[in-house]
Amino acid sequence: MGFHRRLAPSSGFNRGAGAALCVLSAAAAALGAVPASAAPHPDGRAEVDRLYQQAEEATEAYNKAGERADALRHEVNDAQDRIARQQQRINTMREALGSLAGAQYRSGGIDPTVALLFSDDPQDYLDRASLIDRIDVRRAGQLRELQGAMRELAQERAETAGKLAELERGRKAVASHKATVEEKLARARQILDGMPAADRAAFEHASRGDDRADLPDLSGAAAPDGRAAAAIAAARAALGKPYVWGASGPSGFDCSGLMQWSYAHAGIHLPRTSQEQRYAGHQVPLSQAQPGDLVVYRSDASHVAMYVGHGQVIHAPYPGAPVRYDPVGMMPVSSVTRP
């Protein structure tokens, strides 16, 4: 997910005055109106930048918590299926043991000395005694198997209870991160609404990204292989799609969602968050970036974009700004990853 952008030095790439306006833009038109009494912040652009960055960090945490919650739901569903099957197995074993007990009783399962005293036919007694011995051996084995199955069932139930508790904690974490994002964006809306009309107009123009004069010429930027080419083609197909926090396409994206969606079209599964995408491949110096590489921003890796050549990236910037091109040095680069 990306929001407000601040230019920072990045060796080997050109950045013009037009880029500065883009990286300072925010989404007044898409963010909506707030009461006119909202007081302007003394340094509105810096404050919006700070709020957007904080919201971006919370969004990546929201994505991570949501991804873990989804995985836990699948694990819990699978575990509940296993528990049901194991319980059925135990029930069947208990029925079999009951049948054995009944067979033993019908075969004369009483004290051997007493049985011998009352037996009219010693051979009949010996035959029945042999059958009882076989039943006892079989029952002992089945009892051990039943005990083992019951221990497994108890362990599975305990583990599933732990996963359910973790799932509930994850649900609360998702709600907390969502509330943080919404709080930061609401405050940004207030600040934007309190800005002078001329500043708001500049923000609106830049955030829409239309009629821009600095669209890059990427005709000579060749992808190093077919996978990178497929990912770039997908990212370009998303140009103009709206920024939607927590979204991974196809109708809207946040920053890491766009990268995951684009590389899925190349047959590569990227993790969901920008922090995890940072390590989804091998890292290269910025000076050696190739089209298709992931450019990760800020020391906390809270924003990610795709390098497309000629000093440009494609990314989902911030609320109100569509997927678009921007200079690679739009903010401090922390690493470059080649999936």
Biggest CA–CA distance in the chain, Å, is 115
Compute the Cα dihedral for 283, 286, 292, 297 and give only its sign: positive
Q: What is the phi/psi pair of residue 308, to 5°?
A: -125, 5
How far apart CA 182 and CA 281 sit, in angstroms, is 32
Buried b (16+ CB within 10 A) or exposed e, 172-189: ebbeebbebbeebbebbb
Cα 306 to its chain centre, rounded Å, is 19
Long-range contacts of range 166-172, CB-CB < 8 Å, 24 or more positions apart?
166/72, 167/69, 167/72, 167/73, 167/76, 170/65, 170/68, 170/69, 170/72, 171/69
| CA 306 to each of CA 65, 175, 266, 325: distance values in angstroms, whole numbers, following the listed order | 24, 29, 14, 9
Residue 258 in contact with residue 274, Cβ under 8 Å? no
Give me the active site residues, please: 255, 303, 315
Instruction: Give the angle 234-240-246 at the CA atoms, nearest 5°.
Output: 75
Q: Which residues contact 177 (CB under 8 A, 6 or more apart)?
A: 58, 59, 61, 62, 65
Buried b (16+ CB within 10 A) or exposed e, 261-280: bbbbbbebebbbbbbbbbeb
Residue 80 parent element (H or E): helix 44-106
| Nearest CA among 195, 201, 204 for reference residue 43 | 195
DSSP state, residue 156: H
Half-sphere CA count of 169, side-chain side, radius 13 A:
7
Side chain identity, residue 273: T
